């Protein structure tokens, strides 16, 4: 099967499994796992921030940022198609007692004046706005990159209003390699970032929350509260270290593969719209052929994600150029079938 539903389907290479088996470990709840400590130091350095914290999932990393910054009844501003708002089981409402104020965006970017107008003034009727959260790359916008000038403009607005700027950077390395600027530059005006090691970078598990000393100290305590205090998980951190070192340089190849598939889709007669950027391609087809398409792809050993008439293809580490050529052939054959 050629697995294109998500970049979370990558499996660890033999070298990664070896590194995991041989990792030096200790009890991380006691702060004594050397491999976890090394990973946390390295990630903080790459992002140019004081500290980072290894967390089981991106969902927990985002929640920890909110818990560490907000009090009950506060509000955070997000774009309305963000993962935090749509796909994290309303954890911010249920567990942090914080309200999300979603605003519509274009290609993942919320217009600055929308943000400005949404920041609450001091009034007995209003919650207090505490945070602005962006997503880079933006999954639902089809892997769109938020560029540095936009992030900096939002950061300036956040600073002026004493707000925390968080980035859900599950795929921020995809943004960084396509912009071609160092990570610490890209996020220099951002207060916290969550990044997944378990997506395009290729680790089997784990995400990081990056920020200053104070934020990470709070997040560490909340991680324990949520049951995320892990023991000898230097075994997982060893995979994370390898993903951090070798993952980013592979992403441009994924982007090239995604572009090839996106271009081939865009010329098919049954396509209504197609949008692709970095490693994510989203497309809509005529309603009548949705079922037929998914079945045809499966019959030809290609797995793609479908929600209604919306389809998603994600390229990743385990997809080769040969796979991409096969996929394009299946797409072309479907038009003839």
Ligand X SMILES: *Cc1c(COP(=O)(O)O)cnc(C)c1O
Judged by the rule CB under 6 A, the positions of this chain that interact with ligand X are 57-59, 83, 135, 139, 168, 170, 196, 198, 207
* 28 versus 168: smaller Cβ distance to ligand X: 168
Q: Which residues of 44-80 are buried (b: 16+ CB within 10 A; e: fewer)?
A: bebbebebbbbbbbbbbbbbbbbbbbbeeebbbbbbe
Cβ at position 153, least distance to ligand X in Å: 21
Cβ at position 8, least distance to ligand X in Å: 7
* 75 versus 135: smaller Cβ distance to ligand X: 135
DSSP secondary structure of 247-275:
HHHHHHHHHHHHHHHHHHHHT-TTEEEEE
CA atoms within 13 A on the CB side of 60: 20
Is the Cβ–Cβ distance between 73 and 101 less than 8 Å? no
The alpha helices in the chain, defined as continuous H runs, are 14-22, 34-47, 58-69, 83-86, 91-94, 112-118, 148-160, 172-179, 183-186, 213-225, 234-266, 290-299, 321-336
* 58 versus 262: smaller Cβ distance to ligand X: 58
Query: Residues 233, 239, 243, 246: what is their CA dihedral angle, to the nearest 10 degrees?
Result: 140
Cβ at position 337, least distance to ligand X in Å: 33
In this structure, are strands 280-285 and 310-314 parallel, antiparallel, or unpaired?
antiparallel
Cβ at position 124, least distance to ligand X in Å: 35
Cβ at position 282, least distance to ligand X in Å: 13
* 85 versus 283: smaller Cβ distance to ligand X: 85
Cβ at position 58, least distance to ligand X in Å: 2
* 10 versus 264: smaller Cβ distance to ligand X: 10
CA atoms within 13 A on the CB side of 69: 27
Cβ at position 82, least distance to ligand X in Å: 7
Q: Give the dihedral sign, CA 34/39/42/43.
A: negative
* 168 versus 254: smaller Cβ distance to ligand X: 168
Q: Return the residue nearest ligand X (CB atom).
A: 58
* 40 versus 139: smaller Cβ distance to ligand X: 139
């Amino acid at each position: 099967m050629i697995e294109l539903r998500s970049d979370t389907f990558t499996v660890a290479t033999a070298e990664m499994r070896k590194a995991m088996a041989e990792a030096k470990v200790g009890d991380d709840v006691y702060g004594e796992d050397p491999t976890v400590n090394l990973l946390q130091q390295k990630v903080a350095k790459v992002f140019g921030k004081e500290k980072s914290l290894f967390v089981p999932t991106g969902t927990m990393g985002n929640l920890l940022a909110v818990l560490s910054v907000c009090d009950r009844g506060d509000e955070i501003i997000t774009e309305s198609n963000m993962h935090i708002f749509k796909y994290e089981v309303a954890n911010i409402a249920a567990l942090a007692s914080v309200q999300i104020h979603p605003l519509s965006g274009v290609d993942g970017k919320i217009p600055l004046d929308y943000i400005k107008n949404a920041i609450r003034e001091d009034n007995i009727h209003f919650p207090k706005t505490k945070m602005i959260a962006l997503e880079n790359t933006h999954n639902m916008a089809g892997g769109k990159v938020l560029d540095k000038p936009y992030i900096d403009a939002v950061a300036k607005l956040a600073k002026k209003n004493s707000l925390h700027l968080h980035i859900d950077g599950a795929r921020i390395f995809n943004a960084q390699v396509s912009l071609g600027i160092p990570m610490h530059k890209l996020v220099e005006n951002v207060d916290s970032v969550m990044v997944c090691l378990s997506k395009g970078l290729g680790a089997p598990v784990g995400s990081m929350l990056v920020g200053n000393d104070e934020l990470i100290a709070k997040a560490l305590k909340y991680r324990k509260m949520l049951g995320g205090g892990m023991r000898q998980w230097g075994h997982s951190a060893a995979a994370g270290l390898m993903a951090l070192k070798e993952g980013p340089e592979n992403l441009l190849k994924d982007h090239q593969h995604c572009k090839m598939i996106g271009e081939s889709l865009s010329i098919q007669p049954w396509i209504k719209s197609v949008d692709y950027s970095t490693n994510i391609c989203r497309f809509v087809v005529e309603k009548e052929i949705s079922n037929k398409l998914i079945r045809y792809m499966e019959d030809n050993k290609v797995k793609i994600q479908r929600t209604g008439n919306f389809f998603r293809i994600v390229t990743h580490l385990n997809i080769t150029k040969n796979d991409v050529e096969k996929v394009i052939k299946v797409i072309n054959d479907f038009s003839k079938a």
